[in-house]
Amino acid sequence: MKQVHNFNAGPCILPKPAVQAGIDALNNFADTGMSVIEISHRSKEWEPVMADTVALWKELYNIPEGYHVLFLGGGASTQFFTVPYNLLEKKAAYLDTGVWANKASKEAKFFGEVEIVASSKADVYNHIPKGWTIPADADYFHITTNNTIYGTEIKHDLDSPVTLVADMSSDFMSRRVDVSKYGLIYGGAQKNVGPAGVTVVIVREDILGKVSRPLPTMVDYRTHISGESMFNTPPVFSIYVMHETLKWIKDIGGLVEIERRNKEKADLLYSEIDRNPMFKGTVIDREDRSLMNICFVMEDKYKDKEQDFLQYAKDNGMVGIKGHRSVGGFRASCYNACPLESVQALVKCMQEYAV
């Protein structure tokens, strides 16, 4: 197989043991003689996988009693309207830190008043807004912890006077999280914990059932709690690979080790960006720099070399480092399974090109 360094923003790079387990399960799942995509989700072979995947989430995140872990379809974008459907009675508050945060707030406006407590949109989302206040009369406060396109991240758990809701799609399982500070956390699996096709929702049960509107069956979180994420057929393959990915996280030392690795990779690449005269970071406040999606551009006098560097990097095995079209430049997504060796190879590539 061709050796490449995968920095794609999503779907993500996955641990090799998880990929291999998925391949094996496609051929013969649990010695059933059938593929994992052929077996019944009600079979005695599958049900333990569901239960153990929930248990791994609870163990790795140290999820308290009273919370449920759900595996749903539709991607995180479906949660943009499912959250307000279940939680918004009169008013919700949103922090606008990027494209996905902005889209989430727009969906919420179908269900009630939405207050944007702060936004960095005017600055092309190059920082996390500071100095805002969460309105105490909001039904919930919504944040997007990591902004894949712009390379900003909220790396600490906020204190909120109202129910805190977080879209953690692109930094799920990348660091330790105090789940008790959140009423609901959601995210697509395809950035850090598995392939596309399954969305994870962690929800505290006591925040549900408070809105006066009737809820369609499939958007009511209580449907999926009572059905143990199998009210309808779950995306079994995506869940299986996620299960194997969580096992890998646990085996290497859990989130303490994952967080250490992610900081090491980010520190290495940001140090080169800051040192190298040809490049500069796009996030203005260093404390806001994402550990997951590291965005940078050419210094102004080298702008004409951007495409040439992209080709040079490609020729040296770098995959997926072109920045999002709305930002330009470069983006290295250093998700959990991205090895330090790949970041070292990118740094070497930047150094050699700048000579």
Question: In a 3-state reduction of DSSP, which class is residue 95?
Answer: strand
Euclidean distance between CA atoms 146 and 169, whole angstroms: 8
Q: What is the pLDDT of residue 3?
A: 81
Euclidean distance between CA atoms 329 and 321, whole angstroms: 9
Q: What is the pLDDT of residue 232?
A: 94
Q: Does domain 16-251 have CATH number 3.40.50.1820?
A: no
The tokens 């309105």 sit on which residue?
Answer: 135
Amino acid at 4: V
**pLDDT in 10s for each residue of the chain, 355 residues:** 568 999 999 899 999 999 999 999 999 999 999 999 999 999 999 999 999 999 999 999 999 999 999 999 999 999 999 999 999 999 999 999 999 999 999 999 999 999 999 999 999 999 999 999 999 999 999 999 999 999 999 999 999 999 999 999 999 999 999 999 999 999 999 999 999 999 999 999 999 999 999 999 999 999 999 999 999 999 999 999 999 999 999 999 999 999 999 999 999 999 999 999 999 999 999 999 999 999 999 999 999 999 999 999 999 999 999 999 888 999 999 999 999 999 999 999 999 998 7
**Residue positions annotated with a catalytic role:** 100, 167, 191
Q: What is the pLDDT of residue 355?
A: 76
Please work out, in degrees rounded to the nearest 5, the angle formed at the alpha carbon of residue 79 by the alpha carbons of 76 and 203.
105
Q: What is the pLDDT of residue 325?
A: 85
Please work out, in degrees rounded to the nearest 5, the angle formed at the alpha carbon of residue 257 by the alpha carbons of 251 and 261.
120
Euclidean distance between CA atoms 97 and 158, whole angstroms: 15
Q: How many helices (H) and strands (E) does the chain have?
A: 9, 14
Query: Could you state, in order of their start, the residue ranges of all structural domains in the chain?
Result: 16-251, 254-354
Sort strands 140-144 and 163-167 into parallel, antiparallel or unpaired.
Answer: parallel
Task: Go through the chain and tell me how many residues it has.
Answer: 355
Using a CB cutoff of 8 Å and minimum separation of 24, what contacts does 65-68 make? 66/204, 66/205, 66/206, 67/179, 67/202, 67/203, 67/204, 67/205, 68/202, 68/203, 68/205, 68/221, 68/225
Model pTM?
0.96
Euclidean distance between CA atoms 83 and 188, whole angstroms: 14
Q: What is the pLDDT of residue 1?
A: 57
Task: Of 99, 149, 96, 101, give the one whose Cα is nearest residue 295.
Answer: 149
Q: Which CATH number is associated with domain 254-354?
A: 3.90.1150.10
